[in-house]
């Protein structure tokens, strides 16, 4: 019979996939929502800021919630809330209602993200080997599946309810962490300090590179390399596939070479990709460069969360702090890239992105806490 930890490992992977599928389902229905509410590009852009605002404003408080009610309960409640929040977005009667609903959806998405990552760290500690990279890879797989199904679904509500059921059911098999009494909750507001802050800044640099590339790679090929629409779209596809593939195989690489060695090697690949992008003389060279950037940053954020979870006094508090700093980069990257490109050029903007990847590579030693392959696994709760 499979051990409780093994079941929990597959359960948390399913939760990650559900979270990604909810995100993909929503993304695929944005055009329909915009058309249904007659939103202009400006009003749609304003509405789409709300999820980031909701996530970033709620993440610092999530550690206390997870610690108080227990990781398993928090994850089940929050993944269901996120799935259902996506499901009701299609019911928004106007722009203002949509903005409020997206704000709340962002709150549920961000808090669920913290809870499931904390569960991933707990399972990783029990197993005694790296699993965080593949968990984030499952999020990417879920996103791809959710976008395909979501585009074909008549209503987001159907997908939202289905994902909520799957998430809550899978959550039953998560590790039964004991809630902490209110007196022992720790800080109400989690912001990183000391070593955890450094880890958060590494995550910030990686997420900035990821967000900037995702949003600007196709534009770069069109404007700088005069690529056709098909080749421009291929740039994002190559980047996204490299990210997903790098995360799915990342754990095996980490187990063999360690977190520090993996980030250094991956960072070198990412820097090479950045150099190819900045110096690209043909569209396909740019496509290759963006793919190498995706491969170079793929494992950084999962390992940053893992390192934070193994560094802090409580995984949820440390991860909440790192996620707040790191995901802030995702909010800032598109606008900052546009501003820098306007003041200088897109190649110069991607030279700065390459510089951030260099910083991640040089700072890889700060992620040593994610190297758990040499540790003995903690006892399986089922045998306790």
Domain boundary among 177, 204, 223: 177
Q: Is 160 within a domain?
A: yes
CATH number at residue 127: 1.20.1250.20
Same domain, 170 and 258: no
Same domain, 11 and 152: yes
Burial class (CB in 10 A: 0-12, 13-18, 19+), 178: exposed
Domain boundary among 125, 152, 177: 177
What one-character DSSP code corresponds to residue 182? G
Q: Would you say 281 and 224 are in contact if contact means Cβ atoms under 8 Å apart?
A: no
**Separation of CA 5 from chain center:** 23
Same domain, 144 and 273: no
Q: Is 182 within a domain?
A: no
Structure tokens at 267: 């960072």
Same domain, 119 and 202: no
Q: Is 77 within a domain?
A: yes
**Cβ atoms < 10 Å from Cβ of 103:** 19
Same domain, 160 and 237: no
Same domain, 250 and 339: yes
What's the pLDDT score for residue 16? 97
Q: Is 207 within a domain?
A: yes
What's the pLDDT score for residue 1? 36
What's the pLDDT score for residue 384? 44
26: containing domain: 4-177
Q: Is 187 within a domain?
A: no
Same domain, 10 and 135: yes
Per-residue pLDDT 10s for the chain (384 aa) are 358 888 999 999 999 999 999 988 888 787 788 888 998 877 887 888 898 899 988 998 888 888 888 889 999 999 999 999 998 988 899 999 999 999 999 999 999 999 999 999 999 988 888 899 999 999 988 988 887 775 555 567 888 999 999 999 999 999 886 555 544 555 555 566 778 889 999 999 999 999 889 888 988 998 899 888 888 888 888 998 999 999 999 999 999 999 999 999 999 999 999 999 999 999 999 999 999 999 999 999 999 999 988 886 677 888 888 888 888 887 778 778 888 888 999 999 999 999 999 999 999 999 998 776 445 555 555 544
Same domain, 134 and 85: yes
For the chain, the domain total comes to: 2
Same domain, 204 and 125: no
Same domain, 255 and 136: no
Q: Is 184 within a domain?
A: no
Q: Is 303 within a domain?
A: yes
- Tell me the CA end-to-end span of the chain in Å, nearest whole number: 16
Same domain, 247 and 132: no
Structure tokens at 110: 């961000």
Same domain, 226 and 157: no
Q: Is 106 within a domain?
A: yes
Of 158, 21, 162, nearest to 91 by C-alpha is: 158
| Separation of alpha carbons 132 and 278, rounded Å | 31
Q: Would you say 333 and 340 are in contact if contact means Cβ atoms under 8 Å apart?
A: no
**Cβ atoms < 10 Å from Cβ of 279:** 12
């Amino acid at each position: 019979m499979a051990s409780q930890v093994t079941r929990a490992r597959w359960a948390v992977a399913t939760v990650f996939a559900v979270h990604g599928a909810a995100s993909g389902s929503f993304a695929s229905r944005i055009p329909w929502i915009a058309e249904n509410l007659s939103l202009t590009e400006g009003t749609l852009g304003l509405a789409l800021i709300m999820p980031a605002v909701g996530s970033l404003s709620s993440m610092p408080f999530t550690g206390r919630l997870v610690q108080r009610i227990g990781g398993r309960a928090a994850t089940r409640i929050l993944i269901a809330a996120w799935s259902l929040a996506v499901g009701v977005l299609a019911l928004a009667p106007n722009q203002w209602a949509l903005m409020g609903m997206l704000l709340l959806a962002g709150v549920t998405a961000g808090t669920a993200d913290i809870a499931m990552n904390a569960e991933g760290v707990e399972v990783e500690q029990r197993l005694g080997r790296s699993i965080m990279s593949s968990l984030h890879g499952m999020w990417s797989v879920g996103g791809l599946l959710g976008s395909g199904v979501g585009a074909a679904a008549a209503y987001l509500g159907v997908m939202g309810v289905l994902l909520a059921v799957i998430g809550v059911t899978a959550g039953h098999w998560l590790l039964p962490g004991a809630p902490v009494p209110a007196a022992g909750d720790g800080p109400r507001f989690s912001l990183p300090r000391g070593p955890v802050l450094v880890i958060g800044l590494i995550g910030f640099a990686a997420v900035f590179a990821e967000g900037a590339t995702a949003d600007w790679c196709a534009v770069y090929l069109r404007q700088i390399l005069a690529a056709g629409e098909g080749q421009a779209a291929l740039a994002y596809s190559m980047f996204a596939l490299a990210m997903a593939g790098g995360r799915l195989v990342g754990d095996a690489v980490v187990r063999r070479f360690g977190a520090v060695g993996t980030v250094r090697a991956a960072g070198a690949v990412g820097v090479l990709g950045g150099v190819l992008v900045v110096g690209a003389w043909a569209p396909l060279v740019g496509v290759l460069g963006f793919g190498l950037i995706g491969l170079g940053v793929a494992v950084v954020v999962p390992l940053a969360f893992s390192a934070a979870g193994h560094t802090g006094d409580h995984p949820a508090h440390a991860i909440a702090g790192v996620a707040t700093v790191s995901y802030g980069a995702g909010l800032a990257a598109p606008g900052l890239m546009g501003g820098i490109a306007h003041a200088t050029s897109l190649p110069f903007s991607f030279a700065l992105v390459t510089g951030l990847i260099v910083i991640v590579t040089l700072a890889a030693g700060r992620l040593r806490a994610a190297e758990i392959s040499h540790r003995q696994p903690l006892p399986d709760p089922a045998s306790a």
